[in-house]
Structure 1
Amino acid sequence: MTVSASIPKPRKRSRLRLASGIAYYRLLRYWQWLRMNSHVSSKRLQQPLPYLVHTHRTPLLRKLQDVDMWLQHNKIVNLRIASRRIHGVCLRPGETFSYWRAIGKPSRRKGYLPGMLLHHGKVKVGIGGGLCQLSNLIYWMTLHTPLVVTERYRHSYDVFPDAGRTQPFGSGATCFYNYVDLQILNPTESTYQLCLELTEDELVGEWRSDSPCPYTYEVIEKNHWFTQELWGGYVRHNTIYRNRFEREGTWIDEEFVAENHALMMYEPCLPEGEGTRT
């Protein structure tokens, strides 16, 4: 059974309004980081911890409608820089991982290049663009571990139609420095380690641990539906759950993960195979 969730028509904000809002929320984030300073993950190990908990990989290059390929090649450079910043970071018991605190602000001085950004459902160019692929990867892997996602932002717009999708809609985590963050808490008694690598054609991630994980997880989608708003736009909805199993395969329980609502930037009934998802 689905529940209706209306989304108001997007409003265009002035540049001054947008700039002041960004400055305000960034200050709030800096203040939060100061308050949680002693509980933020900071230790890094180059040597991988012995137990693999979950791994995932995503392609570096995709053919996207109306997106120049040079933006994706720049994205690879940006992903390589950001991944090196957080490769090997350890999340000890009681600590929190903050995506942006660990990576820092993307800038030209650090080597970041102009890449693809999504702003109000439109493709734009900005320094450090493309890092959402990394936050998406980390979020998806975390759903397959006992770690707890304490802060995550869904994509407000569904920009590209599905083509070859292997994960449920709404299973990513958008990011924008520094207040649209991804934060992950370790409530266990084990230490977890995030390992990242860029191969020739894939971004590869792992969550590893210093002890075997007692569970395995399956992430599933429920209640996937579309609505047309009174103002004319189409909205895509779903809910994400995960099943937890003992290592030998015995089902334990089902947990609600997230509810997603995204404004569609394409017609909901495109012919099969038309367009490509990020």
Structure 2
Amino acid sequence: MTYIEKKPINRSKLRLTLGQSYYKMRKYFYWWFSQNTYSKNINKDTLNHVIFTHSTPLYRKLLNVDMSLQHNKVENLKLAIQKLDGVIIMPSEYFSYWKLIGKPTYGKGYKDGMVLSPNGDFESGVGGGLCQLSNLIYWITLHSPLTVTERYRHSHDVFPDVNRTQPFGSGATCFYNYLDLEIKNTTKTPYQLKLYLTKENLIGEWRSTERCNYRYEVYEKEHSMTPGFFGHYIRNNVLYRKVYNIANEEINDEYITENHAFMMYQPYIGN
């Protein structure tokens, strides 16, 4: 795993605004002119077979983070879930996270939640917290036969591993509209995304009209924390997944992606 560290750039607000406008327009053109057929059919009747399900906690006690931002995040998740819950992805169709949700705005009821700035600091911003939803959808997709066609890794590793149940780098960051999560149904059966909230958790699952004959196990290799050249440690790993057949025999070991992120805390270095 070879990674060439790039020096962080502190861009002006004007430069950031112009850059975001460019990438947003480029994404719109991609949606308009690509040959992709995007899923938009919402069916509240659930398909019969659960392929994979996972839940993540809604609230975490984070140092120097106002809990009101997490309460607002939950309200934002409720609005986004209304646009995604029950969507059916037919064979050869694409799922686009932002194409379905649309732009989060105050006018639509979205509130200020916690967002991560380009330099790794926390800010409050409209629609903040929706990365928890894109993280969840990416994770359950890795445990299905669906194919991730667009995903962006988090550029910063913000918190130390406390009660972490997933490998580092197994999420998908999101920012409207160009940091998108796109998934293609490369199977021959329809798939359905189901999402809901309990008092304590966000829960998501992929369902289908047929049982899945495969089981997936996501794991990491080559995990390291290395000193960077520009004042941060860098956390690295490579994600793979093992594929098992219905007889629980391993039939494949697939590369998923590699991750590199600036660490926003000091790692413990043993002797």
User: What TM bracket, shorter-length normalisation?
Assistant: over 0.9
Residue identity in the other structure for 2:81: S
Partner of 1:32: 30
Partner of 1:231: 230
Q: Matches of 1:155 and 1:24 in 2, distance apart?
A: 21
Could you tell me which runs of 5 or more consecutive residues in structure 2 were left unpaired when the two chains were aligned. Answer: none
Q: Quick check: 1:6–1:229 contact (8 Å CA) kept in 2?
A: no
Q: Which one of the candidate residues 9, 12, 24 is aligned to 1:11?
A: 9
Q: Quick check: 1:40–1:98 contact (8 Å CA) kept in 2?
A: yes
Partner of 2:109: 111
What SS does structure 1 have at the residue aligned with 2:41?
Answer: coil
Structure 1 residues 45 and 36: alpha-carbon distance in aligned structure 2, compared to 1, 3 A threshold: farther
Q: Which one of the candidate residues 42, 56, 66 is aligned to 2:54?
A: 56
Structure 1 residues 46 and 37: alpha-carbon distance in aligned structure 2, compared to 1, 3 A threshold: farther
Partner of 1:263: 262
What SS does structure 1 have at the residue aligned with 2:81?
Answer: helix
Residue identity in the other structure for 2:63: Q
Deviation at 1:231, TM superposition (A): 2.9
Q: What value does the CA root-mean-square deviation take over the aligned residues?
A: 1.3
Partner of 1:90: 88
Q: Quick check: 2:55–2:204 contact (8 Å CA) kept in 1?
A: yes
Partner of 2:207: 208
Question: Aligned pair 1:41/2:29, yes or no?
Answer: no
Q: Matches of 1:192 and 1:36 in 2, distance apart?
A: 22
Q: Matches of 2:50 and 2:143 in 1, distance apart?
A: 11
Q: Quick check: 2:218–2:240 contact (8 Å CA) kept in 1?
A: yes
Q: Matches of 2:203 and 2:165 in 1, distance apart?
A: 16
Return 5-14 or 192-201, whichever deviates more: 5-14
What SS does structure 1 have at the residue aligned with 2:152?
Answer: coil
Q: Quick check: 1:100–1:181 contact (8 Å CA) kept in 2?
A: yes
Residue identity in the other structure for 1:123: F
Q: Percent identity?
A: 52
Q: Matches of 1:102 and 1:67 in 2, distance apart?
A: 29
Q: Quick check: 2:36–2:94 contact (8 Å CA) kept in 1?
A: no
What SS does structure 2 have at the residue aligned with 1:129?
Answer: coil
Could you tell me which runs of 5 or more consecutive residues in structure 1 were left unpaired when the two chains were aligned. Answer: 272-278
Deviation at 1:7, TM superposition (A): 1.6
Partner of 1:175: 174
- TM-score, normalised by the number of residues in structure 1: 0.94
Q: Map Cα deviations across residues 15-53 of structure 1 (whole Å, 9 max, x no partner).
A: 111101000000011111112476101111100000100
Residue identity in the other structure for 1:124: E
Partner of 1:274: none
Deviation at 1:254, TM superposition (A): 0.3
Q: Matches of 2:70 and 2:168 in 1, distance apart?
A: 22
